[in-house]
């Protein structure tokens, strides 16, 4: 039974998940019991009232009050239970506790940005403390996206021009996947991220180490740090490092190459070109690509931009 349960549903990691699952099972198992009951009765009646002889006549039965009241009242009760239960769960899911830790979420084609109370930022990875309610205040820079963490059983549309909210509390440290579950363009299927749930003390450490936008860890060369940033900042969602065709130009052989723009101009992809492309990506559009890259202005500091450029140089 447990194996079947785990096969049907992802692990229930947030406090609200077990409530959602209980309702899910009630709706599905009661539907299953009713369906089996109806099919058994159908088979029985087919057999019982089959035509037995040439001049067999169907009995004329106009109604049966007791039976009709029974089959109306039982489904009505089940429906009311599902409504009351569902409403209660809905209220729990949409009412974050007052002491919730707040994180701002910005969705854009095709990545998730997170900003924390102390000014720390992260892209693609949402860092949260274990066993503490976390409230997400979400908005979109472009089109409608939807924030979905199957393990937590929460899903919320993220809409441009307004804020939507969701919250969760995860008792145990661990990792879960975030999906975008609103079709938002070519990169929709690549728009996933990760929630990393830290033990209480570790989360504070992570926050402290990320305050102020981050500087290079001592044990990494600039290009190595650049590679790490390219993953963290979701550059790799659109830019391949091995020449394969993705949403944006590949980084393999990019440095020093000649770029042809849609307005007829061209430029050599030197340091200045790469820097401008990261900060104001849509000033010039490269032939054959769509102007979909978000600006990283305010998102990456100079040291980080330099590291990413160093990394791009190593791909020649
Ligand atoms: Cu964002 Cu789909």
Model confidence over 182-197: pLDDT tens digits?
Answer: 999 988 998 999 999 9
Domain boundaries, the chain: 2-45+63-94, 101-213, 222-313
Which of 84-88, 222-226, 264-268, 276-280 is modeled with the greatest confidence?
A: 84-88
Alpha carbon distance 191, 168 (integer Å): 21
CB 251 within 8 A of CB 315: yes
189 C-alpha to center of ligand 1: Å?
7
pLDDT at 248 over 60: yes
Q: What is the mean pLDDT of residues 109-129?
A: 87
Query: Which ligand 1 atom is nearest residue 180's CA?
Result: 2
pLDDT band at 176 (very low <50, low <70, confident <90, very high): very high
Q: What is the mean pLDDT of residues 223-252?
A: 86
Token pair, residue 144, equals 């409608």
pLDDT band at 3 (very low <50, low <70, confident <90, very high): confident
Higher pLDDT, 210 or 251: 251
Pairing relationship of beta strands 125-129 and 154-158 according to DSSP bridges: unpaired
111 C-alpha to center of ligand 1: Å?
8
196 C-alpha to center of ligand 1: Å?
20
247 C-alpha to center of ligand 1: Å?
14
CB 137 within 8 A of CB 105: yes
Query: Which ligand 1 atom is nearest residue 107's CA?
Result: 1
Alpha carbon distance 151, 170 (integer Å): 10
Q: What is the mean pLDDT of residues 91-111?
A: 92
CATH topology of domain 2-45+63-94: Helix Hairpins (1.10.287)
151 C-alpha to center of ligand 1: Å?
18
277 C-alpha to center of ligand 1: Å?
23
Q: What is the mean pLDDT of residues 10-35?
A: 92
CATH topology of domain 101-213: Immunoglobulin-like (2.60.40)
Alpha carbon distance 280, 293 (integer Å): 9
The residue contributing the CA closest to ligand 1 atom 1 is 145
**pLDDT value for 215:** 67
**pLDDT value for 237:** 82
pLDDT band at 214 (very low <50, low <70, confident <90, very high): low
46 C-alpha to center of ligand 1: Å?
51
Which residues is 267 bridged to in the sheet?
259
Whole-model pTM: value is 0.70
**pLDDT value for 211:** 60
pLDDT band at 293 (very low <50, low <70, confident <90, very high): confident
Give percent helix, percent strand, percent coil of the chain, each to the nearest 5.
Answer: 40, 20, 40
Query: Which ligand 1 atom is nearest residue 191's CA?
Result: 1
Q: Which residues line ligand 1 (CB under 6 A)?
A: 110, 145, 180, 182-184, 188, 191
Contacts of 307 (CB under 8 A, 6+ apart): 216, 222, 223, 225, 226, 229
Query: Which ligand 1 atom is nearest residue 158's CA?
Result: 1
103 C-alpha to center of ligand 1: Å?
19
Query: Which ligand 1 atom is nearest residue 109's CA?
Result: 1
183 C-alpha to center of ligand 1: Å?
5
CA atoms within 13 A on the CB side of 296: 24
Contacts of 222 (CB under 8 A, 6+ apart): 216, 306, 307, 310, 311
pLDDT at 122 over 70: yes
Phi, psi (deg, nearest 5) at residue 131: 55, 35
pLDDT at 118 over 70: yes
Token pair, residue 306, equals 């330099």
Query: Which ligand 1 atom is nearest residue 144's CA?
Result: 1
**pLDDT value for 213:** 54
**pLDDT value for 209:** 75
Query: Which ligand 1 atom is nearest residue 143's CA?
Result: 1
157 C-alpha to center of ligand 1: Å?
10
ipTM of the complex: 0.98
CATH architecture designation of domain 222-313:
Orthogonal Bundle (1.10)
Query: Which ligand 1 atom is nearest residue 145's CA?
Result: 1
């Amino acid at each position: 039974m447990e194996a079947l349960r785990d096969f049907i549903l992802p692990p229930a990691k947030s406090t609200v998940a077990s409530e959602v699952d209980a309702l899910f099972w009630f709706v599905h198992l009661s539907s299953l019991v009713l369906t089996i009951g109806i099919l058994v009765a159908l088979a029985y009646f087919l057999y019982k009232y089959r035509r037995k002889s040439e001049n067999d006549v169907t009995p004329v039965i106009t109604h049966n009050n007791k039976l009709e009241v029974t089959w109306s009242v039982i489904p009505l009760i089940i429906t009311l239970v599902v409504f009351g239960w569902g409403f209660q769960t809905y209220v729990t899911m949409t009412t974050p506790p007052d002491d919730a830790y707040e994180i701002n979420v910005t969705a854009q084609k095709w990545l998730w940005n997170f900003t924390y109370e102390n000014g720390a930022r992260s892209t693609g990875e949402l860092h949260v403390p274990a066993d503490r309610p976390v409230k997400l205040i979400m908005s979109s820079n472009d089109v409608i996206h939807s924030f979905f963490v199957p393990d937590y059983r929460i899903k919320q549309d993220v809409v441009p021009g307004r804020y939507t909210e969701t919250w969760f509390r995860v008792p145990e440290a661990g990792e879960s996947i975030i999906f975008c579950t609103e079709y938002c363009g070519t990169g929709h299927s690549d728009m996933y991220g990760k929630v990393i749930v830290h033990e209480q003390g570790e989360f504070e450490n992570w926050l402290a180490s990320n305050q102020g936008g981050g500087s290079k860890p001592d044990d990494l060369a600039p290009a190595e740090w650049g590679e790490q940033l390219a993953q963290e900042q979701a550059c790799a969602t659109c830019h391949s490092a091995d020449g394969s065709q993705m949403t944006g130009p590949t980084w393999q052989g990019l440095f020093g190459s000649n770029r042809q723009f849609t307005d007829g101009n061209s430029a050599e992809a030197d340091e200045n070109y790469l820097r401008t492309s990261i900060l104001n990506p849509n000033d010039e559009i490269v032939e054959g690509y769509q102007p979909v890259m978000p600006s990283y202005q305010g998102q990456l500091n100079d040291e980080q931009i330099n590291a990413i450029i160093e990394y791009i140089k190593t791909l020649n």
